[in-house]
Amino acid sequence: MIVDAETDRSALDRAFDVCVIGTGPAGITLARKLAAAGARVALMEGGGEDYAPRSQNLYKGQVAGLDYWPLDQPRLRLFGGSSNHWAGWSRALDALDFAPRAHVPLSGWPIAKADLDPYAAETEGILELPPEPDLPPVIQSTLRFHRFAMRYSPPTRFGDRYRDALQAAPTLVCALNANLVDLRLDDGLGRVAEAAFRSYAPDDPGFRIRARRFCLCTGGIENARLLLNFTSQRPEGLGNRHGLVGRHFCEHPHFTVADALLGQGADDLEFYRPRPEFAEAADTLNFGLRLEPARFNPPGAPPREDIADCDAALTASLVAAIPADSALHRGLLARARANGCPTATVRVAQEQALNPDSRVMLGDGVDALGLRRSRLDWRLTRQDRRSMRTAALAFALHMAEQDRGRLRIRDWLLSDDAPWPDLDADEVAGKHHMCTTRMAADPRRGVVDADCRVHGIDNLYIGGSSVFATGGHANPTYTIVQLALRLADHLHAIRD
């Protein structure tokens, strides 16, 4: 059933097997699968059924590092979480993302891709993904790149899509307008005994949820903010014995790295990723490149009014560099004059280097519930820039070898010291918040173990992309759902 904690808490006055906090893709997936297995589940959501400023304002915080969106913009605090503005881009992480890599410090998950692969079909059903598309035949580089396909969810809005199932689940209670304000440990400080919640009423004394296990699924920034705020029994916060909660904040840097002149126009977005042997030999982070035609609009995106039809200076400079006997050169200028320039941009969506100084911290202000607000200090390193530069130069060579087109690398990328583009100049990032409670077998390297359990707290688990040990370059929702399904199986297996 679904209840509003502002008006009716009677269904919550019982002991639960699992309390899941957050109704985004991780929380709803986890709660549904546990309830289907017969577990008594409390699913708690801080927002209501619809967007409301009083709820969204709790996400406000400070931006201290690289240029970034106001922190209340990338995530939504309402039933269904940030799936309510998800664009639907879906792809699994690569096998190399899970493996230790000598040139990527701290890399390596305590699980492998093979541990998540059994959940692929179930994930694709939950996300309502179409079958893997057949790529049109293209000439592939044998040394550098694979071309891959992106799949798009409708996109699935988890609150709308699974509301009826949650309402009908006999062992599940979903409470709206229920904001987590503390996790209380037992006397031994090794287990969560109960979770404290409040509604938005200023005089609300709050209420407690008792459960055998607790799962925090509130997002990559919010998971860290809450754990850092819960200092009533541990002054450093929960799960933060080694000072790692909030550290290693990763995004997917999204920058335009080159402009392209094509031999013939491209009708759709094309995706490329490095072959593992190339990434290893070139010492790059994992990355995906997008060849984006000038008039391309991603699914669900507003019309692109900011892209010029043709940059004559760029065309002239690129054509001058193309051998006159090249098939690309023949008729190129005439075709450009007749049909408009077949131009494109090359964009990178890249794994970010793990950096302990890139982090979520607590700011000075407090929200309406008395919790300190978040402060994001997002930082990129020279390794991030070197990987982008290597990717762009290698792709330029690939395009030239195939006589497909010619690239001009953006000036800022060719310098180690140029400032990173800001939001006025580029997309900057994917609004994907990862690695702030990262997974590691050793508690001195991460916050949760291979089963997403917080080190040092027997019954506290974390869901979502904050547990990613590294970020890869794929959009995170697919992997978030896989991890939630795996966590549900683990919790079911250890029921007592």
* Domain encompassing residue 120: 2-149+156-252+354-380+432-493
Helix (H), strand (E), coil (C) string for the chain: CEEECCCCCHHHCCEEEEEEECCCHHHHHHHHHHHHCCCCEEEECCCCCCCCHHHHHHHCEEECCCCCCCCCCCCCCCCCHHHHHCCCEECCCCHHHHCCECCECCCCCCCCHHHHHHHHHHHHHHCCCCCCCCCCCCCCCCCCEEEECCEECCCCCHHHHHHHHHHHCCCEEEEECCEEEEEEECCCCCCEEEEEEECCCCCCCCEEEEEEEEEECCCCCHHHHHHHHCCCCCCCCCCCCCCCCCCCCECCEEEEEEEEEECCCCCCCEEEEECHHHHHHHCCCCEEEEEEECCCCCCCCCCCCCCCCCCHHHHHHHHHCCCCCCCCCCCHHHHHHHHCCCEEEEEEEECCCCCCCCEEEEEEEECCCCCEEEEEECCCCHHHHHHHHHHHHHHHHHHHHCCCEEEEECHHHHCCCCCCCCCCCCCEECCCCECCCCECCCCCCCCECCCCEECCCCCEEECCHHHCCCCCCCCCHHHHHHHHHHHHHHHHHCCC
Residue 406 lies in a domain: yes
Say yes or no: 309 and 184 in one domain: no
Is residue 368 domain-resident?
A: yes
pLDDT at 137: 56
Give the pLDDT confidence score for residue 320 in this predicted structure: 55
480 and 361 in a single domain? The answer is yes
> For residue 103, what is the domain's CATH number?
3.50.50.60
Instruction: Verify that 186 and 303 share a domain, yes or no.
Output: no
pTM of the model as a whole = 0.91
Clarify whether residues 189 and 68 are in a common domain.
Answer: yes
User: 448 lies in a domain?
Assistant: yes
The pLDDT of residue 326 is 54
Running DSSP on this structure, what letter comes out for residue 59? G
247 and 295 both lie in a single domain: no
Whether residues 451 and 336 fall in one domain:
no
- Residues 231, 297, single domain; the answer is no
pLDDT value at position 267?
67
What is the per-residue pLDDT for 400? 87
Residue with tokens 């280097």: 353
CB 178 within 8 A of CB 46: yes
Residue 411: inside a domain: yes
**How many structural domains is the chain composed of?**
2
- Same domain for 306 and 392? yes
Domain final residue pick, 367, 393, 419:
419
Same domain, 339 and 375: no
Asked, for residue 26, whether it belongs to a domain, the answer is yes
Domain co-membership, 13 together with 140: yes
Residue 344 forms part of a structural domain: yes
Has residue 425 been placed in a domain? no
Domain for residue 427, yes or no?
Answer: no
**Is the domain of 202 the same as that of 345?**
no
pLDDT tens, per residue, the chain with 496 residues: 999 999 999 999 999 999 999 999 999 999 999 999 999 999 999 999 999 999 999 999 999 999 999 999 999 999 999 999 999 999 999 999 999 999 999 999 999 999 999 999 999 999 999 998 877 655 555 568 888 889 999 999 999 999 999 999 999 999 999 999 999 999 999 999 999 999 999 999 999 999 999 999 999 999 999 999 999 999 999 999 999 999 999 999 999 999 998 876 566 889 999 988 888 889 899 999 999 987 544 444 444 333 333 444 544 555 555 555 555 554 454 444 445 557 889 999 999 999 999 999 999 999 999 999 999 999 999 999 999 999 999 999 988 888 888 899 999 999 999 999 999 999 999 999 999 999 999 999 999 999 999 999 999 999 999 999 999 999 999 999 999 999 999 999 987 6
The residues, ordered by sequence, that sit 6+ positions from 277 with a Cβ below 8 Å of its Cβ are none
Domain boundary among 419, 447, 467: 419
Based on C-alpha coordinates, what's the Rg of the chain?
Answer: 24
Same domain, 29 and 139: yes
End position of a domain, from candidates 369, 391, 419: 419
